[in-house]
Structure 1
Amino acid sequence: FYAAKNFKEYTVQLRNSRNIYLEVYVGNVQPNEKKDKGIDDLLSNTLKKEPEKLKEDIDTLINERSLTGKYIQLHKITTWSDGKLLELWSLHNSTEFALRHKAILKELPEFRIGKHRWRFTETGEIESAQPIETDEQFWEEIEKFDREGNARTEYKFRYERCFRFLQNRGFSRYQKPDGEYDYIHTEHPFVRTVYKTEDIRDFVKDFTREIANEEVLEMLHRGGPQFLGPEKLSNLRKVEPQFEHSQRDRQLFYFSDSYWEVKRDSIVAKGYDSITHQIWEDQRNDTPVTRTEPLINVTRSDDGHFTYTLSKSGKEAHFLQFLINTSNYTWRKEKSKKLIDADELQENTDHLIAKLCAIGYMMMSAKDRSVSRAVVAMDGKQSEVGLSNGRSGKSILGEMFKQVLPTISVNGKYKEIDSDNFLWDELDVKTKVVFIDDVRTNFPVEFLFTNITGDWSVNYKGNRRATFPFHQSPKIYITTNHALNGDGSSYNDRLWKIAFSDYYNDTHKPIDDFGTLFFDDWDFEQWNLLWNLLAECVQLYLQFGVVQAPSDRIENRQLRQFMGEEFIGWAEEYFSNDLHVDTRLPRKEVYDAFLEYAPEQRRWTSATIFKKKVIKFCEWKGFLFNPQKYDPVTGQCMFFDA
C-alpha cells in the first residue's frame, strides 16, 4: 500500500513541478497452477521458457477496459484517493481484511489487525479476541422518551470503567527517577513509553470502532480531552515493571523475534515465550539475526600475549576488519614491504584485543564497582601537542554504540562541560551509554569520576532532579585527539584506554576499503555480522576482563602533552649540552634557564610545576632523575641524572 501511495504522490509532484503526466498502475499476478506470487516467481516458473509472453500480456491488457490479462491483473490508480487504495488490499476494514486472508488466519489462535486482536470461531465466524467485560464497558446506554413518547438512547461516559478497560489492556503510569510520570503500555515482555495522551485516546477510539456503534464513537469525539486528557488519565494505576536484574556472567541481546543469552562459553537464541522479566521496547533491535560461525578465536599464552585467528565470516565482517585496521601500526611498513618484527605485530594484536574487550564491557548491562571505567579512545600516533590526528575511526565506534544501545551524545569541546548544571538533561532511565565526542585539550576528566564509580545525579531543566543508582547508570565512552592529563591509581583505575592508529586519516577512509557507508548502507549480512561480533566481544570481556591497550604510545602522548611543546623544545636543547647531564644541576639555575628561553611561561609554570615537567621529560627520554647517587660502601657515584 505505502509503496503504491508514495509512488503515486511522486508522479503528482512531477505533474505539478515539471508538467510531466504519468498514468500509474498497480498489478498482481493472476492465480496459476504453479502458485506464482510475484513477477520474479512468474518469470522463473510459469514463463521460464517464454518470458516474452509477459510483455505481450501487458501490451494486450493495457488496452482492455477490465485491465485483466492471462498472467497479470492491473489497476489504474492515477486518480484514486488513499481510501480507495486501501480497499484494494482490504486495509480499510478489519473484518474485510480477515475474511480475505481467512485461509491463513483461521489456523492461528488469534491475530492482530491494527491495535485489536481477532480470531475465527469453530464455525468460521470472526470475533474479537479482546471481548470487553461488563465492568470495562466505558459507555452506559440510557433509555429516554421524548414528549411524544418516542424512545431514544443517550450515552454516558464511565470514567472508572474506562480506566479499568485501559489497565486490563496494559496501559498504566510509571514513575521516573525525577518523580515525574510517564504513561506506558505493557505487552509482555515489552514495555513501551506512550509519549502523548492522544495515543491512548486513539486506542480507545480504534477499539470502539470495532465493537460499538457510531453513537458511542460520537460521544468520544465530543468528549475528547475531557474524557481522556492528561488530568483524567492521571488516575491510571501506577505500576513498577519487573525489569531484568543484570547479571555479571551473562548479557541478553534483544531482537525482533528472539533474544540471545550470551555467556562466556555460549551464545544461545531463545524465544520471547521463555522470558520472565520485562524490557523496554527500545531495547529490542528491529532486525532478525542468525548465529554465524565464530568470527574470531582469541587465545592468551602463559606470558600474557594474545593471538587470534579469523574464520571466513570474520574476514567478511566489515566492522571487525575496521577494528583490525585501526589497530594496525605497521601499515606503512606493509605498504613499502619492509620487514616487520614480531614485537610490532604483537603490539597490533594487543591493541585489537583491547578494543574488542572494551566493546564487550560497554555492551554489558551489569556493572561492577571494582572494574567501573570510562572507555577512552585516543590517537596512537605521536604528534606535537595541539596537533589533531582525527579521522582515525574513534567516533565511528561511538556511532556504533548509538546504533545498538540507547545513547546520548555530548560535545566534548563544550568549554563549560564541567560546570553546566544541565549537562545531562537528556539522560533518562533507558540510557546505556554517554558518548562524549572529541574532547578538547586538557579536558577535566576528573569531574566524571563520581559518575563512573558511583550514583549519577542529574539536574533537569524545570527544577527537576534525579539520581540514578550505580547499577542503573550508563557507561561512558570518550574520544579525544589529545591525551588526557592525570596519573596515579585513582586516574588509571577509572579509565580504560584504547588507541587508534592512523591507518584511517584525512586521505584514507573506511569507505575506500569497504565500498559502503557504515550502518546507513549496510545490508542484512553486515548487520548480522555486527551483532555476532558484539556477542563475541562480550564473551572476550567475560573471559579476559579489562585488557588495556599497550601503554607506550598512550603514555608517551600523555607525557608530551603534560610537558608542552615549548618545554620540550627547551629541554631537548638544554640537555643536549654535555655540561648539563651526568652532573649536579641547581634547581634555580635550571628553572631560570627555562624562563630565559620562554619568559611568558613564568605565569603558567611555577617552580613546582617545572620540577614535575623535568621529571616527566626524564621519564620520556629514559633518563634517571635524582637517583641514589653514592654507593654507601665506596662513596662512588653509581647513577647519573639529567
Structure 2
Amino acid sequence: MIVENINGSFYKIAPNNGNIKVIIEKAKLLNFWENLGYRKLILKSGKYELVKVNENSIVEIVEDYRLADEVRTYLETLNHQIVFEEFLKKDYASSSLIKSLKGIEIKFSNGNSNEAQFFYKNGVVKISSTAHSITPYNEYEGYIWKDQVVDRVFSPTSEYKKSEFASFVNKLSGLDSNRFKSLRSIIGYMLHSYKDPTNSPAIILLDEDMDMEQEEAKGGKGKSLLARGIGKIIPYYFKEGKNFNKNFPFSGLEKHHKMIFIDDIKKGFDFESLFAIITGDFSFEKKFKNEEVISFSESPKILISSNYMVSGVRGFSEERRKVEFEVSSYYGPHLTPFEDFGHRLFDDWDEMEWTRFDSFMLFCCKEFLKHGLVKADSINLADNKLKNDTDPKFIEFMDEEITNDCKIDKRELFNSFKEKYKPDFILLSSNQFTKWLKIWASSRGHITKIDKSNSKQYFEVIIKR
C-alpha cells in the first residue's frame, strides 16, 4: 500500500520512515459518533446510559460495542483495515472516552390530557377527541423510545367497526352497548400514556359469573387476549400473577414499557401493595443491580386480570385506585375466540384486518379523551364484594331482618345472628359484626347510624327506596 497522506474523518494515515503511521484523533472520533446520533443520556441519579438517537426523535439504549461496530463498518467501506487495527490496540471505545460524548437529558413525550400520541413506522400519530394527524419523525419535537414504534404503517380506515377485535371486545361486554362503551374507554385509557396525577387507577378485569360461595375460578373469558391487543399498540411488561410475590417482580421492566399486565392473580392478592406504584414514582429492583426509579409521569399504567375478587384496604383510598370491569361469559370452555372467528386473532390477520384493528383501537382512545373512563353498572360485582368482605350467611340474615326503617339494639341483633347460625360464628367479635353492618348498609345504599343510649348501642337504618 503506497501512502502519501490520507486524512479520514477521525484519523490520519501517513508515511513514517518507510513504514505507515496511523494517528486516531479522539476529539474527531467523538464527533464521528455524535454525527451518527450517539449520545450520553444523563439519568436523574447522575449516572448515564449510552443511547443512539435516530431521525432526531427515536432513542434506543445501546451497548458500547456498537461504537466499535460503527468504526469497523466505516473503515471497511474505505478499505482502511490498518486504521481499525490501531483502533483495537488502544481500545478507543472505552468508558473513559464514552463519558466525553455530548450529554443529553430527555423528557419523553406521553401526550397530555387532551392529546394522545402513538408511534408507527410512518410517523407520530396524534389523536384528539375529534381528529388525528401524522407527523414525520424528523419533524417531531420530542423523543420516544425505539421500542415504542409499532412495526406497521398507520393507514386509517372508516371500516374500523368491522374489525374482528371490535367484535371481540363487544362480546366481552356481553353485547351490551353501555358496557361496550365502558370497555372501549378502558382500552383508550390504557393506550394513552399520559397519567393524570389526580386519577390514574389500575384496571381490573374480573369474570361476571364469579362464584364467591363456591370459590370457583372459571377463567378463559378472553381477558388475556384483550391485554395482548392493547400490547399490539403500546409496549407492555407481562407478569404472571402466580409469581408476582417472588423476589424482583419487576426485574424485566424497561423504561419503554407503558403498561404492566399482571395476569391471573392468585386468591388473596394484596392490592394495597400496588398503591405506591399507582400514585407515585415507581421504584423497583433488578437482580444484581441498584434500585431504579421511573417518575410518575413516565411510569406504566397497571392492568390486572383475576378470577377472584381483588381487595386491599376497603374505602375511598382503595376505590379511587382501581376501576373494575366484569367480563361477560360469552367465551369460556363452551366457546373460544379461535372457534368463534375460525382462526387466531392477530397471528392470522392480513394487512386489511390490521388496518381495521389500528383504527378501532385509536377510536377507543378518541372516546376516552372525549368521555373519560366510563364505569359500567355492576352485574354481580357489588354482591361479590359484599360476600368477599362479609359472609353470605350474614347477608342473608340482614336482608331478611332489615326490610324497613328501624332502630335495633345492636347486641340483640348480634346475638340473634349467632344463635341462628351457631356454631358457625362462635368466634365472631362484636367489633367485626359492627364492621359487617356498615359494609352491608353501604353496599345496599342504606343510611345508617350507631347511637348509644342507656349503656346500649343502637343500629339505626333508613332503607334506600
Could you state the TM-score of these two structures normalised by the residue count of structure 2? 0.85
Distance 1:158 1:624 in 2: 81
Matches within 5 A, 1:288-367: 288-293=153-158, 295=160, 314-315=161-162, 317-328=163-174, 348-367=176-195
Deviates more, 1:359-368 or 1:267-276: 267-276
CA positional deviation for 1:236: 2.4
| Candidates 357, 364, 370, aligned match of 2:198 | 370
The equivalent residue for 1:423 is 249
Give the match's secondary structure for 1:409.
Answer: strand
Name the SS for the 2:380 alignment partner.
helix
| Amino acid aligned to 1:321 | S
State the Cα distance separating 1:464 from its structure 2 match.
1.6
Aligned equivalent of 1:456: 282
Q: Deviations over 1:67-111 (max 9, x none)?
A: xxxxxxxxxxxxxxxxxxxxxxxxxxxxxxxxxxxxxxxxxxxxx
Matches within 5 A, 1:407-446: 407-414=236-243, 416=245, 420=247, 422-446=248-272
**Does 2:141 align with 1:276?**
yes
Q: Percent identical across equivalent pairs?
A: 21
Q: What CA deviation, in whole Å up to 9, does each residue of 1:497-526 have, x standing for no partner?
A: 222011111231101111222222222222
Q: 1:216 aligns with which of 61, 83, 97?
A: 83
1:265 CA drift (Å): 0.7
1:538 to 352, 358, 365: 365
- SS of match in other structure, 1:404: coil
1:167 deviation in Å? 1.2
SS in 2 for 1:556: helix
Rounded to whole Å, the distance in 1 between the matches of 2:442 and 2:420 is 19
Q: Residues 221 and 328 of structure 2 are in contact (CA less than 8 Å); yes or no, is this contact kept in structure 1?
A: yes
Equivalent residue in structure 1 for 2:126, among 242, 257, 261: 261
> Which residue does 1:187 correspond to in 2?
54
Cα distance in 2 for residues equivalent to 1:415 and 1:614: 34
Larger CA deviation: 348-357 vs 587-596: 587-596
Of 476, 481, 494, the match for 2:302: 476
AA partner of residue 140 (structure 2): I
Q: Unpaired runs of 5+ in structure 1? A: 1-132, 146-150, 296-313, 330-347, 629-636
Separation in structure 1 between the aligned mates of residue 44 and residue 218 of structure 2, nearest angstrom? 40
Other-structure match for 1:139: 11
Residue 382 of structure 1 deviates from its aligned partner by 4.3
Instruction: Supply the AA of the counterpart residue of 1:235.
Output: S
2:412 equivalent in structure 1? 586
Q: Deviations over 1:313-350 (max 9, x none)?
A: x13x1111011111117xxxxxxxxxxxxxxxxxx222
Alpha-carbon distance, 1:483 to partner: 1.6
Contact 2:210 / 2:217 at 8 angstroms: preserved in 1? no
- In 1, the alpha carbon distance for the partners of 2:27 and 2:294 equals 34
- Change over 3 Å in CA distance of 1:640–1:627 after alignment to 2: farther
Q: Which letter maps to 2:49?
A: D
**Distance in 2 (alpha carbons) for counterparts of 1:219 and 1:444:** 59
The answer to whether the 8 A contact 2:242-2:265 is kept is yes
2:228 to 399, 405, 414: 399
Indicate the residue corresponding to 1:307 in structure 2: none
Q: Report the CA distance between 1:574 and its aligned residue.
A: 9.4
For the residues of structure 2 that align with 1:519 and 1:223, how far apart are their CA atoms? 50
Deviations 1:345-397 (A, max 9, x none): xxx22211111011111111222123221111111124134211301111112
2:430 to 591, 594, 607: 607
* Structure-2 change in CA distance of 1:453 and 1:520 (3 Å): same
Deviations 1:176-216 (A, max 9, x none): 44554321111223434243322221111101111343322
State the AA in 1 paired with 2:222.
G
TM-score (normalizing by structure 1): 0.63
Q: 1:372 to 1:621 in 2, by over 3 A?
A: closer
Alignment of 1:557-576 (within 5 A): 557-563=384-390, 567-569=391-393, 572=396
Aligned residues: 445
Check 1:163–1:621 CA distance in 2 against 1; reply closer, same or farther (3 A cut). Answer: closer
Q: Is the 8 A contact 1:432 1:473 kept in 2?
A: yes
CA distance in 2, matches of 1:640, 1:153: 98
Secondary structure in structure 1 of the residue aligned to 2:168:
helix
Equivalence for 1:244:
109
CA distance in 1, matches of 2:168, 2:207: 15
The answer (yes or no) to whether the contact 1:176–1:429 under 8 Å persists in 2 is no
Contact 1:143 1:153 in 2 (8 A): yes
Q: Report the Cα distance in structure 2 between the residues aligned to 1:264 and 1:639, rounded to whole angstroms.
A: 43
Quick one: which amino acid aligns to residue 11 of structure 2? W
- The CA RMSD over aligned residues, in Å, is 3.3
Structure 2: distance between partners of 1:534 and 1:502 = 23
**C-alpha distance in structure 1 between counterparts of 2:463 and 2:235, whole Å:** 55
CA distance in 2, matches of 1:428, 1:640: 52
Larger Rg: 1
Distance 1:395 1:638 in 2: 43
Q: Residue in 1 aligned with 2:345?
A: 518
* Secondary structure, aligned partner of 1:464: coil
Cα shift at 1:451 = 2.0
CA contact (8 A) 1:393 1:504 kept: yes
Q: Please state how far the C-alpha of 1:479 moved relative to its aligned partner.
A: 1.1
Tell me the SS of whatever aligns to 2:291: strand
Among candidates 309, 324, 327, match of residue 497 of structure 1? 324
> Residue 423 of structure 2 aligns with which residue?
597
Q: Is the 8 A contact 2:448 2:461 kept in 1?
A: no
- State the Cα deviation string for residues 97-135 of structure 1 (Å, max 9, x = none): xxxxxxxxxxxxxxxxxxxxxxxxxxxxxxxxxxxx96x
TM-superposed deviation, 1:531: 1.2
- Give deviations 1:392-440, integer Å, cap 9, x for gaps: 11111222233321211223234736xx5x3333333322111111122
2-structure distance, mates of 1:234, 1:506 = 58
1:383 paired residue number:
211
Q: Which residue of 1 aligns with 2:454?
A: none
Matched residue, 2:40: 173
- What SS is found at the alignment partner of 2:60? strand
- Deviation string, structure 1 residues 42-83 (Cα, Å, up to 9, x no partner): xxxxxxxxxxxxxxxxxxxxxxxxxxxxxxxxxxxxxxxxxx
Distance 1:415 1:270, change over 3 A: closer
> Match of 1:173, SS?
strand
- State the one-letter code of the partner of 1:492: E
Structure 2: how far apart are the matches of 1:638 and 1:502? Answer: 36
**C-alpha separation between the residues in 2 aligned to 1:497 and 1:574?**
26
One-letter identity of the residue aligned with 2:174: N
Return the offset for 1:259: 2.8
Cα distance change, pair 273–186 in 1 and its aligned pair in 2 (3 A): closer
Q: Cα distance 1:588–1:213, how it changes in 2: closer, same or farther (>3 A)? A: closer
AA in 2 matched with 1:362: M
Offset, 1:242: 5.9
- Residue 608 of structure 1 deviates from its aligned partner by 2.1
Aligned with 2:183: secondary structure?
Answer: helix
